[in-house]
Structure 1
Amino acid sequence: MDPLSLTASIIAVLQLSTKVLEYLNDVKDASKDRTQCALETSNLYNLLFNLRAQVEEGDATKEWYTALRALAVENGPLDQFKEALETLQARMTDGGRLKKAGDILMWKFKKEEMVSILGRIERLKTLVEIALQRDHFKLSRAIKTDTEAIKSDLDSVRTRGDNAEHRRLLQWISSTDYPAQQSDIIKRRQEGTGQWFLAAPQVARWLSEPQATLFCSGIPGAGKTILAAIAIDHLFDHLLKSMQSSSHGVAYVYCNYKAREEQDTSQMLAAILKQLVQARPSLVGPVELLHKQHADRGTRPSPDEVFSALRDVLARYSTVYIVIDALDECQDSDGTRRQFLTKLRDLQVGRDVRLMATSRFIPEIVDWFNQALKLEVQASKEDVKRFVAGQICRLPKCIQRNSALQEIVQEKIVEAVDGMFLLARLHTDSLLDKRTVKDVKSTLAKLSKGSAALDHAYKEAIQRIEGQLSGDYELAKKVLSWITYAKRPLTTTEMCCALAVEPDEADLDTENIPDVEDLLSVCAGLVVVDQESAVIRLVHYTTQEYFDRIRDAWDPGAQLYIASTCLTYLSLSIFKTGSCSSNQEFEERLQESQFLDYAAKHWGEHAVTVEDQICELACSFLSHKELVSCAAQVLSRPKYTYQGYSQAYPKDSTGLHLTARFGLPIVLEALLLNQVRETALVLERRDSYGQTLLYLAAGHGHQRMVKLLLDKGADVNAQGGRYGNALHAASVRGHETIVKLLLEAGADVNAQSGRYGNDNALQAASYEGHETI
């Protein structure tokens, strides 16, 4: 490399640094990440400027200059810094281009990304500082050490990290995006809160002691999730400020009562594995191996297989912190929580894995952590006061203009909440419609306290909703009903599409789609939107519990409305072309019709509660072959994609098959009325997977449907389907009552077939651990 080439490389980086520094100074964000990034980039700019002067004045024949050239080799330290700058520029300016004059630059980086970017900056800064000492031996040694340290990760970033195949692998192992949730949660933190937690001696011990476990319990609404996010944020801040980013790992799971079916042991372990591999792309090998073993067969790794892969990745880290929030929201009816905790404890054996968990006071969870460091979570008075002070800008002008009244608001709410952040939020929201000082003081005087305070605050919120204009009240009821009855979290797009559906209309009118801000404004603070994940949800788990108690009385027609909406949407004219013939066509359909995934997968779960009322609409949908084909394809959509995945669904699936799949005996009877002479043939009709109606009903645990089909003469020993027959399917999935029904109807207990080779139902039940069966 000639002197001009080295100088040109430095100048190119200096020019890009200047541009990025302009963006960093203009960005609308006061975050510590942005400030630190600007500071480090500026420091490195000054060092590089000095280095450029020495290079231009130096002698290219000298050994120092020869050593210096290694900074500018392809994929070397200068290239690494340039790549980091380009990433910063692209993310802040939409690919390096300002969209329009006047557009505001936004900070869109997660902590995990900043660890990588600042790590590259720090490495080059260290090398340039050494270069300026003009000691060519020391410089050569430092560059060689740095090159060896980053080579494997650099190769991986080049060949995998920026590669669609690498992203596809990580999406395959886990579709969860907990970093997006982390960003959403930490944005809601009031600046300065949580310092008592970080200063606690238990936290200090957890951060410093190998294999330490910290258990943080607290009452509902105490702020456990925010503190988990603060802990995670603190860990990444620590890595950003140290040179340990490559040897120390951070991973976390946010348990969610709405996502229980998607949070089994395998998937939670896989989410941890995904995060650790994302941080160090060179460690993707164990994930690649699992993909080779399962992807082509359409199977998923078992908990033990994911555990083994995770253990292999952990071996490449010196220390890993794992944070699990809201363990009480992780289902335990099937043993998931116990199995997951056991696996986490096993990961600590022989490795420096430091575990932190939060939960309500659930006896079995508390007992599990009896040997752990313990810290009770309770919102401090100082934190609550800071939180309320931060909400003043949302409150009516009579409060904003009166500093004395602001002090009263803060004092009264702090006094009332007794350590519950959630109650502070609800009490603050109760002031939103108070327009005079008298009204404000009157409301403050009546703030609920004690154990019943939450219910009272929710009741008052409902009263505010009911006191709105009739259109706003009806909209709020629909929004709250959708969220509380939904079988999984809904995005804002899904919610708005659902609300736009009109009865008896064959097309979705885009002019009927509501604005998200309006949905929030009519719900009296009970509904929030997570910006990163675009999920619309209730403000807290306790809000769901409250609505579980009152929703049948408050909105008795909710399930009928939801089921009708799903069926009306599935019957839209755009779906009458049937299923899609390629992955691309299928993905375009899902992108253009974003409520289709939810409606196809969950309509039957809503319909089962109002089956007699929804029967006519359901029959209309189920009698249309193309509509059924469209829905069946979406219903079979896997969590990960692969070549031809969209065609892996049961062809020849009929409306009767969907009825059996969801367990709708009233609808089945109505459909059979039109085929009374062919009932025997219909009962034995198979889809392309060989699944009969009885097989589907048994495998999915629908007792009433199984009994109806048996009474109508369905062949209890009919062969077909992934597991071979109905008894085998029910045994594998642990449906004890259905196994009894099938045996009483003459099912052959020794029939051999299905997924487990030439095994029988007893062996399948044993393999899956269903002891009673």
Structure 2
Amino acid sequence: MDPLSVTASTTAVLQLLNKVLGYLKDVKDASKDRAKCTVEASNIYRLLVDLRSRLEEGSTDARWYTAFRTLGIENGPLDQFRQALEELQTRMTDGGRLQKAGKALVWKFKKEETASILDRIERLKTLVGLALQTDHLSKLSQATKDDTNFIRTHVPAIQSGVDRIQHDQAKAMHSKIVEWISPTNYPAQQSDTISRRQKGTGQWFLDAPEFTTWLGKPRGTLFCPGIPGAGKTIVAAIAIDYLLKSVQSSSVGLAYVYCNYKAQEEQGTSSILAAIVKQLVQGQSLKGEPVERLHKQHADRGTKPSLEEIFDALQEVVAMYPKIYVVVDALDECRNNDGTRSQLLARLRDLQVGADVRIMATSRYIPEIEDGFQTAMKLEIRASDEDVRQYIAGQEYRLPRCIRRDPALQTMIQDKLVKAVGGMFLLARLHTDSLLDKRTVKEVKLTLDRQSKGSAALNDAYDKAIQRIDGQLDGDKQRAKKVLSWITYARRPLTTTELRYALAVERDTAELDPENMPDIEDLLSVCAGLVVVDQESAIVRLVHYTTQDYFERIRDAWDPDALVYIASTCLTYLSFDLFKTGSCSSIADVHDRLRLNPFLDYTVQFWGQHALPVQHEVCDLACSFLLHKGSISCVTQVMERTRHFDDVRFYRHKNFIHLAAQFGLDSLLKKLLEKAEGKEMLLASSKRGYGDTGLFIAAANGHDKIVGLLIDRVGLNLIRGEDGDAFQEAASRGHEQVVNVLLDNGADVYVQLASWRQRSLAARNSGCRSPIQYPSLIYAQARYYNRAIWKAAKNGHERVVKILLEKAVGINVQGGHNGNAFYAASEGGHEAIVKLLLQEGAKVDGKLRDGALGEAVRVCEQSRMTC
């Protein structure tokens, strides 16, 4: 074989091996077999590269070439290895069909097949190694002579390589820590939003003097209110895009938040501030020390930093920048039932006190929000006529042919819609979509004449969209109803993959049929423009939050079976045979299970909330799921996967009582207890492995009906849990109905009092008569209630404090195991509770700490009480 042929043969093998290595790295599998094949294939690749280099620079009469030539003969080791690689490539990709379809590659080789592959690689590696060794001796002398030059040339390169590796490792660790502080990806949402901007629109906002003034004003605040559908989010994205391109640098910080009515549970004050921290340190490793410190304190323990810790870290990071811009979009969509919105604004203003933080916020016209921006600059957001024209012109490519070929008709459409939409981009979109199925000029003109104006225009546009959906073929109409039901009832935003899996689930089946998976484009096409997909995040959502409001008004009448359908889908999916196999043996297997079953995470988290309002309708399906130990074990492991350092050995085992108690499924629990055939005492008393009793779970989650049911069945001997006491936990969380139920059922906590009895008896037997070591049961009971009222006062639960003062025995608001209830309330700034406790005779004296004393005096002065 001539040198060129041998070199070409080696090159062909290298090219094929490079492809196979790419496939091996893309395989969604963490098995040892796949990893070992990847390592060994990489090793032989490096040997062959070295060998090809020798071929290209060597001579044909060299001893090493003679040795190598035997490897390249027809059907020799090199040829056999090439054939093995071709077989490996074909098996992994199904002949290339997987790559074309964009599906995930999976490792599908048995142990013996893997052993055969490794054996072939090892044989060729040995032979190539021998060929290289033959050349080694002949070149040893020359290598020795050049040793000095080699060291001089390569040591700096080696050091550079080490530095690069260390830099890459530090960068990877920084990215890991940044992702730990906040998984929220607002930059992806920014990309999605700005991509929907019609070119040229929104320039009026950037040119406005208010925006220009805000850009240059230290500690400035710009409030941008607007009517629903005015394009506030697009304008916020335009402002952020401008800042990203024109202002942001290593010395100027930028962070932004997109509030979302569908993600309110995930958008508490802590998570929003953490997302701001993340953006300010992302790509700025020198500014990441405060976050790294939090990571060291919490990551190994599996805990999350508190609000105060996150805010302290944010203040440290902010201090590293000369100035920072913060943009908060849709402040009205930030939850406020627990004070999150007010708390967030207060924290952002606190940042402005010590640093040059410039805040911009958009919102609907809500008096409470407007009051918070009384001293701020204001710039109303309203779709200008020119912006509306540009938007409509940009949508003409989607319109019927009769419009596209008639410039005069296009102008008429723009003129009429500009007048009709009244500054609402959303209405312009809906009115434009209403023309999609009009095929004649007359139909277009009639539709334009019927377009409503004013406050009723939006509802009218939605009504017409529903009429278009109902006018479709029956299959498309039902498909649209399912899509819209899932999106409106979903407890968090769904991805396109999750939605497709949800729609593929069929009742009374034991597995998912991949041939029943719908195409996302088909799903969008049947929804009359009411559903869109954010491409960066793959989130499928309604076109606007007002669409959610509309469907919440009409969905019960329009699709009365939606709740039963969604709950049944979740329960059917969780009952699949695949999940009846139980828990996984490692956290890697848990992650693989979630990856291969994309709908599992959602159903595990929210099946109970979907089942709650339709317990009777899904009773049989739910009982079948909840009474299967394998299904419960699978669900429990997925639910608990983040609690104990990602170690599956410590996850909390549950039975159906624990799950029913967690979600408040009282009707289902009654049915399940009947099926337990006398085992309810054992099941209810059992703790969820390293966990809590069913009564504790129900009390902690505020499900008073479950608490009452469990008390009726098994009494109060379940009152204690791993995380504390059920009664005190209910008081701490402000669940007044649960506190009432427990008090009405004699929640003296028998376990607590029995403990006091045992200690008293031990003290008596030892001859001790100290009142501290030998207390009365009344004292024990009072001490127990004092702790409960302290927790309620500390967390600001005024109604629970009133209940305890009225019903509990022997309470002393000045004492308690954990501290003074009056101090706890005053320290937290809960003025109503402080007044209530003062009326009960709480004393303010020098024994209280200065902070509490000052707060108490202030409250006393305001309430005209004397301390």
Which band: TM-score by shorter chain?
0.7 to 0.9
Q: How many angstroms apart in 1 are the aligned matches of 2:170 and 2:434? A: 48
Deviates more, 1:287-296 or 1:175-184: 287-296
| Aligned residue in 2 for 1:204 | 212
Per-residue CA deviation, residues 336-371 of structure 1 (Å, 9 max, x unaligned), is 111111101101112000000011011110000001
Q: 1:167 aligns with which of 171, 175, 184?
A: 175
| Aligned residue in 2 for 1:693 | 694
Deviates more, 1:695-704 or 1:337-346: 695-704
Task: Rate the CA distance shift 1:159–1:770 in 2: closer, same or farther, 3 A.
Answer: farther
Q: How many angstroms apart in 2 are the aligned matches of 1:690 and 1:532? A: 39
Q: Is the 8 A contact 2:186 2:258 kept in 1?
A: yes
- Letter in structure 2 aligned against 1:655: F
Gaps of 5+ in 2: 1-97, 103-162, 756-783, 801-867
Task: Rate the CA distance shift 1:215–1:749 in 2: closer, same or farther, 3 A.
Answer: farther
Q: Is the 8 A contact 1:689 1:720 kept in 2?
A: no
Name the SS for the 1:772 alignment partner.
helix
- Letter in structure 1 aligned against 2:659: L
Deviates more, 1:426-435 or 1:726-735: 726-735
Q: Kindly indicate whether residue 747 of structure 2 is the aligned counterpart of residue 747 of structure 1.
A: yes
Deviation at 1:305, TM superposition (A): 0.8
Q: How many angstroms apart in 1 are the aligned matches of 2:645 and 2:425? A: 48
| Aligned residue in 1 for 2:765 | none
| Aligned residue in 1 for 2:226 | 218
Q: How many angstroms apart in 2 are the aligned matches of 1:768 and 1:292? A: 28
Name the SS for the 2:532 alignment partner.
strand
| Aligned residue in 2 for 1:764 | 791
| Aligned residue in 2 for 1:650 | 652
Q: 2:246 aligns with which of 225, 231, 238?
A: 238
* Aligned counterparts, 1:137-156, within 5 A: none
Deviation at 1:160, TM superposition (A): 5.7
| Aligned residue in 1 for 2:530 | 526
Q: How many angstroms apart in 2 are the aligned matches of 1:435 and 1:369? A: 49
Q: How many angstroms apart in 1 are the aligned matches of 2:271 and 2:375? A: 27
Q: Kindly indicate whether residue 159 of structure 2 is the aligned counterpart of residue 158 of structure 1.
A: no
Deviation at 1:536, TM superposition (A): 0.3
Name the SS for the 2:358 alignment partner.
strand
Q: Kindly indicate whether residue 706 of structure 2 is the aligned counterpart of residue 720 of structure 1.
A: no
Q: Is the 8 A contact 1:482 1:562 kept in 2?
A: yes
Q: Kindly indicate whether residue 519 of structure 2 is the aligned counterpart of residue 515 of structure 1.
A: yes
Q: Kindly indicate whether residue 740 of structure 2 is the aligned counterpart of residue 731 of structure 1.
A: no
| Aligned residue in 1 for 2:438 | 434
Q: How many angstroms apart in 1 are the aligned matches of 2:749 and 2:798? A: 16
RMSD: 2.4
- Letter in structure 1 aligned against 2:478: E
Deviation at 1:636, TM superposition (A): 2.4
| Aligned residue in 2 for 1:458 | 462
Q: Kindly indicate whether residue 237 of structure 2 is the aligned counterpart of residue 229 of structure 1.
A: yes
Q: Kindly indicate whether residue 359 of structure 2 is the aligned counterpart of residue 359 of structure 1.
A: no
Q: With structure 2 as the length reference, what TM-score do the two structures score?
A: 0.68
Q: How many angstroms apart in 1 are the aligned matches of 2:186 and 2:170? A: 19
Q: Is the 8 A contact 1:213 1:373 kept in 2?
A: yes
Q: How many angstroms apart in 1 are the aligned matches of 2:742 and 2:795? A: 19
Deviation at 1:604, TM superposition (A): 0.6
Name the SS for the 1:556 alignment partner.
coil
| Aligned residue in 2 for 1:9 | none
Q: How many angstroms apart in 1 are the aligned matches of 2:673 and 2:695? A: 15
Task: Rate the CA distance shift 1:599–1:364 in 2: closer, same or farther, 3 A.
Answer: same
* Aligned counterparts, 1:320-339, within 5 A: 320-339=324-343
- Letter in structure 2 aligned against 1:180: A
Q: 1:178 aligns with which of 171, 183, 186?
A: 186
Task: Rate the CA distance shift 1:236–1:547 in 2: closer, same or farther, 3 A.
Answer: same
- Letter in structure 2 aligned against 1:213: T
Q: Is the 8 A contact 1:743 1:749 kept in 2?
A: no
| Aligned residue in 2 for 1:607 | 611
Per-residue CA deviation, residues 719-762 of structure 1 (Å, 9 max, x unaligned), is 2222x121132233322221222222222489699xxx999333
| Aligned residue in 2 for 1:127 | none
| Aligned residue in 2 for 1:112 | none
Greater relative contact order structure (CA < 8 Å, 6+ sep): 1
Deviation at 1:302, TM superposition (A): 1.4
Per-residue CA deviation, residues 187-213 of structure 1 (Å, 9 max, x unaligned), is 000011001111111101110000000
Q: Is the 8 A contact 1:716 1:726 kept in 2?
A: no
Q: How many angstroms apart in 2 are the aligned matches of 1:335 and 1:670? A: 38
| Aligned residue in 2 for 1:93 | none
Deviation at 1:712, TM superposition (A): 2.2
Q: 2:584 aligns with which of 580, 585, 599?
A: 580
- Letter in structure 2 aligned against 1:710: I
- Letter in structure 2 aligned against 1:234: Y
Q: Is the 8 A contact 1:749 1:762 kept in 2?
A: no
- Larger Rg: 1 or 2? 2
Q: Is the 8 A contact 2:644 2:651 kept in 1?
A: no
Per-residue CA deviation, residues 418-440 of structure 1 (Å, 9 max, x unaligned), is 00000000000000101111111
Gaps of 5+ in 1: 1-98, 104-153
Q: Is the 8 A contact 2:719 2:749 kept in 1?
A: no
Q: Is the 8 A contact 1:717 1:748 kept in 2?
A: no
Q: How many angstroms apart in 1 are the aligned matches of 2:743 and 2:644? A: 39
Deviation at 1:716, TM superposition (A): 5.9
Deviates more, 1:477-486 or 1:628-637: 628-637
Q: How many angstroms apart in 2 are the aligned matches of 1:716 and 1:536? A: 47
- Letter in structure 2 aligned against 1:269: L
Per-residue CA deviation, residues 472-502 of structure 1 (Å, 9 max, x unaligned), is 0000000000000000000000000000000
| Aligned residue in 2 for 1:380 | 384
Task: Rate the CA distance shift 1:467–1:721 in 2: closer, same or farther, 3 A.
Answer: same
Per-residue CA deviation, residues 627-683 of structure 1 (Å, 9 max, x unaligned), is 001111222244xx98534555312x1122111111111111111112242332232
Q: How many angstroms apart in 1 are the aligned matches of 2:167 and 2:516? A: 46
Deviates more, 1:475-484 or 1:629-638: 629-638
Per-residue CA deviation, residues 493-533 of structure 1 (Å, 9 max, x unaligned), is 00000000000110100000000001100000000000000
Q: How many angstroms apart in 1 are the aligned matches of 2:174 and 2:165? A: 9
Q: Is the 8 A contact 2:315 2:351 kept in 1?
A: yes
Q: How many angstroms apart in 2 are the aligned matches of 1:772 and 1:599? A: 35
Q: How many angstroms apart in 2 are the aligned matches of 1:347 and 1:461? A: 45
Q: Is the 8 A contact 2:583 2:634 kept in 1?
A: yes
Q: Is the 8 A contact 1:717 1:747 kept in 2?
A: no
| Aligned residue in 1 for 2:565 | 561
Q: Percent identity?
A: 58
Q: Is the 8 A contact 1:564 1:614 kept in 2?
A: yes
Deviation at 1:246, TM superposition (A): 0.8
- Letter in structure 1 aligned against 2:317: V
- Letter in structure 2 aligned against 1:661: Q
Name the SS for the 1:250 alignment partner.
strand
Name the SS for the 2:799 alignment partner.
coil
Q: Is the 8 A contact 1:255 1:263 kept in 2?
A: yes
Name the SS for the 1:687 alignment partner.
coil
Q: Is the 8 A contact 2:685 2:718 kept in 1?
A: no
* Aligned counterparts, 1:350-499, within 5 A: 350-499=354-503
Deviates more, 1:696-705 or 1:415-424: 696-705
| Aligned residue in 2 for 1:192 | 200
Q: How many angstroms apart in 2 are the aligned matches of 1:208 and 1:155? A: 39
| Aligned residue in 1 for 2:703 | 702
Name the SS for the 2:715 alignment partner.
coil
| Aligned residue in 2 for 1:672 | 673
Q: How many angstroms apart in 2 are the aligned matches of 1:230 and 1:356? A: 13
| Aligned residue in 2 for 1:84 | none
Per-residue CA deviation, residues 157-188 of structure 1 (Å, 9 max, x unaligned), is 9256641x322211211111000000000000
| Aligned residue in 2 for 1:307 | 311
Q: How many angstroms apart in 1 are the aligned matches of 2:659 and 2:301? A: 24
Task: Rate the CA distance shift 1:199–1:537 in 2: closer, same or farther, 3 A.
Answer: same
- Letter in structure 2 aligned against 1:731: A
